[in-house]
A = this chain, B = another copy of it.
């Protein structure tokens, strides 16, 4: 019964048992056309009996193809990346390929891991905030098909991003439309290309309105550091801002809690906006920006596939549009949640 140490069944054993050559087995199990129907059936039956499962390594080596694509992202803890990865997986699996994932968050040897991943796939998607441009360039230089997601261009590599700057400008404009004049930005443009774009749009809107530029208040991407940074920002007495544009929803949610703790009402005393439209934001009545995350992943997957099959021509760059989601937190007159 189920021996402890069992070597996997190989094509040779199937061939033996079916009384044919390994070539015939291979053919019977794949290009069914080239094999006489009775033979094919026999081989398939034997393969089934033996629980034969062709080794991908053998096949990959023979075909010179892994039939697998990779995706590199910072982490999966927020809903953001999970959605992107899901959109990616969906398309890639549909193309008959497997998906390798790599989360770089908190790993100091990310570049090395990415290089290692590169050796197992036919192409990969690299998201912003994972590895530096030099690493990307090095891999691209290797000839491996690549698509960058939510990060600035590097060389001639394809790029798919969601709009940040224009939306940020519109969002900030909306805030200004409410009469707010003392604005702050919570997030660190240096930490992520997305945040950099958002801050740029924020700044542009200030300039449009003839306001003085402001320095960003640095914060990580999670609720906790949003809370900490906001608490600090909101405590400095007379210079307290009327509105805070946050780098993402989690930070905004942290800021929201900080405001509560300080006895400030939102949006009464303070307007607040986030980014990403995560589910929690709906319930927190948070004004935010919605991105088609799944679509981002799916698009990247399709483009990568075109690169792999050599269809694609020159480098392509696409910016997917985003959508403002106005809820109560920005001081809007709506104070029922959106649909």
Q: Which A residues fall within an 8 A CB radius of B? A: 2-3, 6, 8, 51, 53-58, 60-61, 66, 68, 75-77, 79, 81-83, 85-86, 89-90, 93, 98-103, 107, 113, 115-120, 138, 140-143, 156, 253, 278-280, 282-284
- Contact (Cβ within 8 A) B99 A102: yes
Set B86, B141, B283: member contacting A103, Cβ < 8 A: B86
A86, B56: Cα distance in complex, Å? 25
Complex: chain B residue closest to A71, CB-CB? B101
Closest to A52 in B: B142
List, in ascending order, chain B residues with CB within 8 A of A283's CB.
Answer: 253, 280, 283-284
* Contact A53–B142 (Cβ < 8 Å): yes
Q: Verify B103–A100 contact, CB threshold 8 A.
A: no
**In the assembled complex, which residues on chain B have CB atoms less than 8 Å from the CB atom of A279?**
253, 278-280
Give the chain B neighbours of A82 by CB distance below 8 A. 76-77, 79, 81-82
Contact call B2/A51, Cβ cutoff below 8 A = no
Please give 4 more A-B residue pairs, beta carbons under 8 A apart, in addition to A6-B142, A283-B284: A76-B86, A89-B103, A93-B103, A278-B280
Contact A115 B53 (CB under 8 A): yes
Report Cα–Cα, A57/B3, bound state, in Å: 27
Given contacts A51-B142, A113-B93, A142-B8, contact A120 B98 (CB under 8 A): yes
- B79 contacts A93, C-beta separation under 8 Å: no
CA distance A82 to B54 in the complex (A): 30
Contact between chains at A93 and B89 (CB < 8 Å): no
Contact A77 B86, CB 8 Å, known A8-B143, A101-B101, A143-B2: yes
